[in-house]
Structure 1
């Protein structure tokens, strides 16, 4: 897995059923793996005890089982559970409050999740995994069902988290232009394998995208960012 000790965003792209979500679950050891190994920097996923693994890797799945009739503050607090086991001390509460301020959720912390917009709710879930304070964040389609405004806001927040908090974020994305605009590296999946890995300029190319998506895609450079034109 490509990674950076200084933080960054790695976008995972590819067509449906190419293995993106399965890869995230294998990395987080939520699915059994029958061959091969997974290493992140200097630690082996298989040989890492569970208690240590959850302090290194946090995951936000696309379909989260947590009830929407839950107060935002309580949701975010769940991120500290592995440290406090539910008995939050002064440091835990200060950490939770700092994350709430960092993501601008002060005015929403006493609301129920089902009272929030999709973008606000997604920010609350992101706050929860930031509270877990892991080096690596695994996000399965965090832009799903967000409109353009909230999708841009979410990507700006993730970029800020990577740059300021020095987190490495592996994020599944269907919008390859968001991947090109905000990520440091892109991994393109095909038929269950990582077919290509490189910078946005290396990956967002017509020939490569044709191989991945089986459709002709033009690429134009706008503000030094390769943008895919795939609507015609």
Structure 2
């Protein structure tokens, strides 16, 4: 379980998040949604110990995020930010191999190679593993970054807008792969998603933020109603049921 108690983040006199009290159960996919500036990425990076909270406490899988040894936390929790600054002359395989550093400390074992191979296959990167990053499209690089995080083989995986730079077909493929990893490997994914319809189709739980606060927390069926969505996004919204999943139709 991920637990946040009285978590806030301020810059000077401006509070951008919180206070937040939240429990996210282990297992499955939890989507963080909300308008730009709602605090989604700030919350994610605080949970991943990339940003220090101004107040409050975070625990992940029983570990106190602020106090846990870095190597122990990195074996429990992995995170992919929106901004990635890896050397672009790395090959895909070299990048994915960085995900094994908390386990191997740079000396890859047969078990590390197995995890790297599995992550590359899982994201359908076999034909690209020898290519350097700056030879890839934005979508291909995004898949390589996600493969690196999956190679880390943590119980908890935090992804900040993993669908960035992906077209519709690759976005669907990515969410199906995350759904498969959650169901078959028992992973817990916390995913910032811009498109509410992807959240509705693939997440077990949706947490909506607005102005730095958690304003709704529930199943897709509970969140995907016109009244709830309009309170989050402040625009008239119609929700239709097309097949298995509800679909939000926005109107200006």
Q: Same fold (TM over 0.5)?
A: yes
Tell me the distance in 2 between the aligned counterparts of 1:114 and 1:34.
Answer: 37
Bigger RCO of structures 1 and 2 (CA < 8 A, at least 6 apart): 1
| 1:1-232 map, 5 Å | 1=2, 2-5=23-26, 7-232=27-252
Go from structure 1 to structure 2 and tell me whether the alpha carbon gap of 1:73 and 1:12 turns closer, same or farther (over 3 Å shift).
Answer: same
**3-state SS in 2 of match to 1:26:** helix
Quote how far apart the aligned CAs of 1:99 are.
2.2
Quote how far apart the aligned CAs of 1:4 are.
4.0
Quote how far apart the aligned CAs of 1:36 are.
2.0
Tell me the distance in 2 between the aligned counterparts of 1:145 and 1:123.
Answer: 10
Go from structure 1 to structure 2 and tell me whether the alpha carbon gap of 1:41 and 1:94 turns closer, same or farther (over 3 Å shift).
Answer: closer
For structure 2, the residue ranges without an aligned partner over 5 or more in a row are: 3-22
Tell me the distance in 2 between the aligned counterparts of 1:127 and 1:149.
Answer: 18
Work out whether residues 8 and 166 of structure 1, in 8 Å CA contact, stay in contact via their aligned partners in 2: yes
Tell me the distance in 1 between the aligned counterparts of 2:212 and 2:80.
Answer: 21
Counting matched residue pairs gives: 231
1:121-156 alpha-carbon deviations (Å, 9 max, x no partner): 222111111111111111111111221111111111
1:151-195 alpha-carbon deviations (Å, 9 max, x no partner): 111111111111112111111111000110111100000111111
Q: CA RMSD in A?
A: 1.6
Quote how far apart the aligned CAs of 1:205 are.
1.1
Report the TM-score, using the length of structure 1 for normalisation: 0.93
Quote how far apart the aligned CAs of 1:224 are.
3.3
For structure 1, the residue ranges without an aligned partner over 5 or more in a row are: none
